[in-house]
Each structure stands twice: as structure tokens, then as C-alpha cells.
Amino acid sequence: MESKGILTIAVGLLAAAVAFAQSEAPKLPPAPANAPAPSLQANADPGYDAALAACKNPPRKMPPIHWPASGPPPRDYTVREIPGVIAAGQHWKFLWQEAGNNGDGIVGTFDGGLLIAQNDNSDVVKLDRNGKASVVFRDTHTGGALSMNSKGALFIDERGLNPAIWELSPRHKLLADKINGETLDCIGGVLNDLVADSKGGAYFTMGGLYYASPKGVITKYGESLSTNGIMLSPDEKKLYVTNRGSVVVFDVQPDGALTNQRDFAALQKGTFGDGSATDADGRLYVSTNPGVQVISPEGKWLGLIPTPRDIISISFGGPGRKTLFVLARGAEDADGKQIANAAQVYSIPMVAQGYKGRAK
């Protein structure tokens, strides 16, 4: 009996060690020799000053990102139960990583995979349901966030000089690249996040909040907003946008216009919202530095799902859309140093189910 007990304990410890190992990210491989220069966001392009000078009312120039030489290590976390959302004791599983500013705007595909927009190399990578990575789109002109609408059309925001929103699939087609006859550079800042609607248009953030109609006409909405993440409710009757430490909601009209701006929910004190997603029950999930904050359809803060690193983007996906994916910042390089300029993807099993009518 004693030997069986010892064997049971040993097997349990081994299983725990394997589970822990699966949650740990390996070191990044050394950078390849003669690697190409990274793609440039508009505000880092040598032609940016001339683009701004051509604007009727040139915006304030936004400096490019300069990543610190080092970053924080992974942190310990404990997942606590959020009823109907996630069970206690779950662990994040590492899936993929790449050096550089190479992940944003992730989208879970209908076949259980995950799409990742890569800023530094202008690719879109797909992780299949087994975690195998492949490049599915190239030459996206510094592609940023992705969004797939309820009809399966995939859109991307391109962050290079003269930013634009394109439909990547099933057609490769420009949606919008002008506002009031000027390039999107004249808005100022960096083209950030987007969510595509069933009409063929897309809402996007670029300092403020905008809608590109199916005909490519861009309209600005909202007052006193500092926007980032953006998401439609499952029925597309509401639009949520993060506004630093809070979330704002709008009513969506039949033609896509937005009305009735109002506060929806406050985030944890000292945190700022980035990406967002919804589940089948209309709960809103917001990525923040400490993890995923979950909000009820009525705007009640339900809890935090802590993450091993700071995160910027989230999406439901996987079999039955019962997996939550996050895009995290930071990694350990081949020399064992923690670097900030890297992207990692993790997943965690959920009780909640992502909305099946749209890919995010």
C-alpha cells in the first residue's frame, strides 16, 4: 500500500511537471544572419514629415516606438473562478513566439486556428488547431490588427506610410485610405485596432473612433476619447471601445452610424484597456497589463484572469470556441535575457464560449 501511494504521488508530480513545462515558453532562437530591416509604421517612415505637411491641418507628430533593451520576466499568477467564465486553477499554455513587434490584433478562425498580424515583417501568421505556424498573407505594408466579420471576410489595418484598411480575403480589396480627401496620416498617430461589421464596413481606432463604410467613406465619432481596443456586441447593436481606464459604449444604427455615447464600465484602478472580445452571452473581455478583465453585458466588472506577461490582444477560438487566446509582450532571448520587443501567444480553457457568429 505504501509503495502504491509513493508511486501515485510520483506520477502526480510528473504530470504536474509536464503541465508546468507546457506553460513555459522556450528561449527565442538567435536572430538570423542578414535579417531584413523591419517594416515601418507611418510615423517612423522617412516620408512621414512630408505626408503631415500635405495635410490641411497637420496633426501633432507622434514619435515612433522605441522598445527598451530589456523587459520584465514572466510573473506568477493564480486563476480564480469567475462563475460562468472560467474555472479556478486553470493555467495558460504557451503556443508561439517571435522576436520584434510581431503580434497584434489576433483573431480566432472558424476552423479552430488563430491569425496573428505581424507589424515588423508585414506577414499574417496562422496557428492551426495544433499550434503549427504558417504564413498565410505577405506584404501587408506593416499590417496591424485583424478582424473577420460574420460572413467570413477578413480585414487588416496597414500601419505603413499612407495607412489603409484592406479586405484580405475572400477578395484583396481596398476598403478605405482617405478621410475628407486626405490620407489617414492626417488623423495623426498610428492606425490601431479594428472590428469589421456584417455590412462590409469596419470600425477602427486611431487616437479617436472612426467608421469606414462599405463604400469606403470614413466618419469620425465620439467626444473626448483616447481609444485603443474596439469590439461589436454579438448582435452588432452596440459598439464598445476602450478609453484608457474605462470602456465606452455606443448604439449602432442600421446604416452603421454611432449614437448615444456613454460610459459602460470602469477597469481596475491603474489599468488601461487594449484589445477586446465578446463571448456568446455578451460578456466583454478587455486585455490589460495584469490580464484579461471580464465585464458583464450590463457593465458590471466580474473579475480578472491574470496572465504570465502583459497582454495587448485577445480572442476566443479553438474547438467549440471555448479557448481564450492572448497576445503577450516579452520573451527570453537565446542568451537568457528578458527582452521587451517580442510577441508570445498563450491559450487557456474556458467555461464561457466565444460567439460563433463572428470570428472574435
* CATH code of residue 132: 2.120.10.30
Q: Rounded distance, CA 113 to CA 109, Å?
A: 5
Q: Mean pLDDT, to the nearest integer, of 31-57? A: 92
> For residue 8, what are the CA distances in angstroms to 4, 14, 89, 97?
6, 10, 21, 35
Residue 178: which H helix or E strand, with range?
strand 178-179
Any domain includes 180: yes
Q: Mean pLDDT, to the nearest integer, of 24-50? A: 91
Any domain includes 14: no
Domain count, the chain: 1
Any domain includes 120: yes
The answer to whether 80 touches 284, Cβ cutoff 8 Å, is: no
> According to the model, what pLDDT value does residue 34 have?
83
What global pTM score does this model have? Answer: 0.92
Residue 8: which H helix or E strand, with range?
helix 2-23
Work out the pLDDT band at 350, boundaries 50, 70, 90.
Answer: very high
- Roughly how many angstroms between the first and final C-alpha of the chain, as a whole number? 51
Which is it for strands 238-243 and 323-332: parallel, antiparallel or unpaired?
unpaired
Q: Which grid cell sits at 343?
A: 510577441
Q: Rounded distance, CA 142 to CA 185, Å?
A: 14
* Per-residue exposure over 165-196, b if at least 16 CB sit within 10 Å of its own CB, e if not: bbbbeeeeeebbbbbeeebbbbbbbbbbbbbb
Q: Mean pLDDT, to the nearest integer, of 245-273? A: 97
Q: Which residues, in sequence order, are bridge partners of residue 221?
A: 209
> According to the model, what pLDDT value does residue 356 have?
87
Any domain includes 333: yes
Q: Rounded distance, CA 31 to CA 11, Å?
A: 38
Q: Any residues with CB less than 8 A from the CB of 312 and at least 6 apart, and which?
A: 103, 104, 274, 275, 287, 327, 328, 329
Q: Please say if the pLDDT value at position 24 is more than 90.
A: no
Q: Please say if the pLDDT value at position 76 is more than 50.
A: yes
Any domain includes 18: no
Work out the pLDDT band at 14, boundaries 50, 70, 90.
Answer: very low
Q: Rounded distance, CA 57 to CA 186, Å?
A: 7
The answer to whether 48 touches 185, Cβ cutoff 8 Å, is: yes
> For residue 359, what are the CA distances in angstroms to 75, 153, 165, 229, 274?
30, 10, 18, 16, 18
Q: Mean pLDDT, to the nearest integer, of 81-86? A: 98
Any domain includes 85: yes
Predicted confidence (pLDDT) per residue in 156-214, tens digit: 999 999 999 999 999 999 999 999 999 999 999 999 999 999 999 999 999 999 999 99
Q: Most distant CA pair in the chain: distance in Å?
A: 84
Please, what is the average pLDDT of the chain? 91
Work out the pLDDT band at 10, boundaries 50, 70, 90.
Answer: very low
Nearest to 231 by CA among 185, 183, 295: 295
Domain boundaries, position 141 = 71-349
> According to the model, what pLDDT value does residue 6 have?
38
Any domain includes 15: no
Q: Which residues, in sequence order, are bridge partners of residue 324?
A: 316, 348
Any domain includes 253: yes
Work out the pLDDT band at 81, boundaries 50, 70, 90.
Answer: very high
